[in-house]
C-alpha cells in the first residue's frame, strides 16, 4: 500500500479496523429464511397503486413534510399515549445509534439481557460506551431477575434494552420481572418491540406508568423491510432530546410515502401477520415432532431450535437451497442453535424437508 493510503488508514480507530462488518449472506436462488422478513409481496393491484403514488412524489424536495406526516400516522397507528411524542429512524438501527449518542457520557454503560439483538452492543462500543450483557436463564431463555437487578445496582446503566419479544430466542419475558427492572433502572429503559405484529402483548401501557420508558418499533417486520423505517415513542421531553440527534432528512420522501401507503392498507398487513402467526404454530408443532430437534416457543416471526450439530445442519440445508441463520457462535447459550424465519407455507414446507434430510 502507498504511504498516503497507510496514513489515511491510520486515522481510522483501532477498534473499527479490528472489527468485522455486519454479515449479510448471499441468498440468490435460495429459500430465504435467515433475517425475519415478511415473505409476502403486495398484490399486483396494490403494486400498481403504490407505483402511481410514488410516481407522484416530489422527489425534488427534501422530505421534512412527508416525514412529519408519517410520524403522525405511525403515532395514531400505535396508539401513542397523551404526553408522548415520536421520532423516526432509518430502521431501528439508526434509532439505536441515536440512543447510544444521547447517553454517551464518560463512564456511561448500556445493559441488556444476553443473547439479544447484536446492534445494542455494537452501537454501544462504537460510541465508546461499556456494554454489560446479563445472561438469560439457560433452560428457557427467560430473564434472570436477580442477576439483572444485581447488574443494575452494580453498573448503574444509563440505558437498558429489553427486546420484547427477544431476538433471537423469540420469547416474551415475564412482565413482573420487567417491571422490577424498570423500577430499579437509574436511566432509560427501551422496550424494543420489533416483532410486535406477531406477539400476544405489547408495552405501550408502560409509557403512562414509567416516564423513563421508551417503546421502539419498526415497519420492517410489519412488511416493509426494504423501506427502512423505525420509530421511537416516549415522553415528549425525552423524545425532544433524542430527536436532536436525528439527521434532518433521514427518511426519504419515497420511503415516507411507502410507509403512509402501508398504513392506509394496514388491514392487508394485519392479515399477513395473522397468516404468519398460524404458520409459526404449524411449524413449531412440526419441529417438536422432529427427532433430534429442540424447538423453543416463540412470539416472533422466527423459531429458535437446537440440534446436535448446528454447522452440519446449516450446511446441509444450504446445499438443499434453504438459507437460515446459524446462531451457534453468537453466544454460549446458543450452542448448536439455528434461528429459522417463518415464511410462506411453501417455504416452510421446503425448510422442514431440508432440515429433516440434513439431520438424517
Q: What is the pLDDT of residue 163?
A: 98
Rg, Å, the chain Cα set: 21
- Compute the C-alpha angle 125/159/68, nearest 5°: 95
What average pLDDT does the segment 208-225 reach? 95
Instruction: Say whether pLDDT at 1 is over 80.
Output: no
Cell for 145? Answer: 431477575
What average pLDDT does the segment 183-205 reach? 96
Rounded CA gap, 173 and 245, in Å? Answer: 30
Predicted confidence band of residue 287 (pLDDT cuts 50, 70, 90): very high
CB 302 within 8 A of CB 286: no
Helix/strand/coil for 86: strand
Q: Of 25 and 129, which is predicted with more confidence? A: 129
The mean-pLDDT minimum among 152-156, 172-176, 199-203 falls in: 199-203
Cell for 171? Answer: 420469547
The mean-pLDDT minimum among 11-20, 244-253, 259-268, 332-341 falls in: 11-20
Nearest to 162 by CA among 117, 132, 119, 128: 117
Rounded CA gap, 257 and 63, in Å? Answer: 10
Predicted confidence band of residue 317 (pLDDT cuts 50, 70, 90): very high
CB 314 within 8 A of CB 338: yes
Helix/strand/coil for 213: strand
Q: Of 2 and 321, which is predicted with more confidence? A: 321
Residue range 21-36+267-359 in CATH 3.90.1150.10: yes
Instruction: Say whether pLDDT at 205 is over 70.
Output: yes
Per-residue pLDDT tens digits for 48-89: 999 999 999 999 999 989 899 999 999 999 999 999 999 999
- Mean pLDDT over all residues of the chain? 95
Q: What is the pLDDT of residue 40?
A: 96
Cell for 338? Answer: 439455528
What average pLDDT does the segment 296-303 reach? 97
Q: Which CATH class is domain 58-264?
A: alpha beta
Cell for 238? Answer: 425525552
Phi-psi region of 46 (alpha: psi -120 to 50; beta: other; left: phi over 0): alpha
Cell for 286? Answer: 412440526
Give the HSE-up count for residue 87: Cα atoms under 13 Å, Cβ half-sphere: 25
Query: pTM, whole model, 2 decimals?
Result: 0.94
Q: What is the pLDDT of residue 304?
A: 98
What average pLDDT does the segment 246-274 reach? 96
For CA atoms 288, 283, 307, 327, the dihedral sign is negative
Order of strands across the sheet with 337-341?
294-295, 302-306, 337-341, 325-326
Q: Is 209 buried (19+), middle (13-18) or exposed (0-12) by CB count in 10 A?
A: exposed
Place of cell 438501527: 93
Instruction: Say whether pLDDT at 172 is over 80.
Output: yes
Q: Which residues pair with 216 in a beta bridge?
A: 192, 232
The residues spanned by each domain of the chain are 21-36+267-359, 58-264
Predicted confidence band of residue 26 (pLDDT cuts 50, 70, 90): confident
Instruction: Say whether pLDDT at 341 is over 80.
Output: yes
Per-residue pLDDT tens digits for 344-356: 999 999 999 999 9
CB 292 within 8 A of CB 308: yes
Instruction: Say whether pLDDT at 248 is over 80.
Output: yes
Q: Is 348 buried (19+), middle (13-18) or exposed (0-12) by CB count in 10 A?
A: buried
Q: Which residues pair with 183 in a beta bridge?
A: none
Per-residue pLDDT tens digits for 274-283: 999 999 999 9
Q: What is the pLDDT of residue 4?
A: 84
Amino acid at each position: 500500500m502507498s504511504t498516503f493510503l497507510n496514513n489515511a488508514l491510520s486515522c481510522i480507530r483501532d477498534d473499527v479496523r479490528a472489527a468485522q462488518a455486519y454479515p449479510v449472506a448471499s441468498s440468490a436462488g435460495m429459500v430465504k429464511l435467515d433475517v425475519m422478513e415478511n415473505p409476502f409481496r403486495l398484490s399486483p393491484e396494490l403494486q400498481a397503486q403504490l407505483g402511481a403514488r410514488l410516481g407522484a412524489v416530489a422527489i425534488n424536495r427534501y422530505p421534512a413534510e412527508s416525514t412529519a406526516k408519517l410520524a403522525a400516522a405511525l403515532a395514531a397507528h400505535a396508539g401513542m399515549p397523551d404526553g408522548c411524542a415520536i421520532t423516526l429512524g432509518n430502521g431501528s438501527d439508526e434509532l439505536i445509534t441515536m440512543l447510544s449518542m444521547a447517553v454517551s457520557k464518560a463512564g456511561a454503560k448500556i445493559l441488556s439481557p444476553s443473547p439479544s439483538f447484536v446492534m445494542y452492543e455494537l452501537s454501544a462500543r462504537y460510541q465508546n460506551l461499556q456494554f454489560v450483557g446479563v445472561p438469560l436463564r439457560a433452560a428457557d431463555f427467560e430473564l434472570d431477575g436477580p442477576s439483572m437487578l444485581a447488574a443494575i445496582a452494580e453498573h448503574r446503566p444509563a440505558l437498558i434494552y429489553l427486546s420484547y419479544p427477544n431476538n433471537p430466542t423469540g420469547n416474551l419475558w415475564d412482565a413482573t420481572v420487567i417491571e422490577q427492572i424498570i423500577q430499579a433502572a437509574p436511566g432509560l429503559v427501551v422496550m424494543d418491540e420489533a416483532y410486535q405484529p406477531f406477539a400476544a402483548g405489547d408495552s405501550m401501557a408502560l409509557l403512562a406508568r414509567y416516564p423513563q420508558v421508551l417503546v421502539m418499533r419498526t415497519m420492517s417486520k410489519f412488511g416493509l423491510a426494504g423501506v427502512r423505517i423505525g420509530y421511537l415513542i416516549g415522553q415528549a421531553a425525552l423524545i425532544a432530546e433524542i430527536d436532536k440527534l436525528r439527521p434532518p432528512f433521514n427518511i426519504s420522501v419515497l420511503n415516507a410515502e411507502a410507509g403512509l401507503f402501508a398504513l392506509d392498507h394496514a388491514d392487508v398487513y394485519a392479515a399477513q401477520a395473522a397468516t404468519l402467526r398460524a404458520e409459526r404454530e404449524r411449524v413449531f408443532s412440526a419441529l417438536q415432532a422432529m427427532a433430534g430437534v429442540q424447538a423453543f416457543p416463540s412470539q416472533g416471526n422466527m423459531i429458535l431450535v437446537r440440534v446436535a450439530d448446528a454447522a452440519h445442519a446449516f450446511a446441509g440445508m444450504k446445499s438443499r437451497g434453504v438459507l437460515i441463520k446459524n446462531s451457534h457462535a453468537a453466544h454460549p447459550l446458543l450452542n448448536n442453535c439455528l434461528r429459522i424465519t417463518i415464511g410462506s407455507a411453501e417455504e416452510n414446507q421446503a425448510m422442514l424437508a431440508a432440515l429433516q434430510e440434513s439431520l438424517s
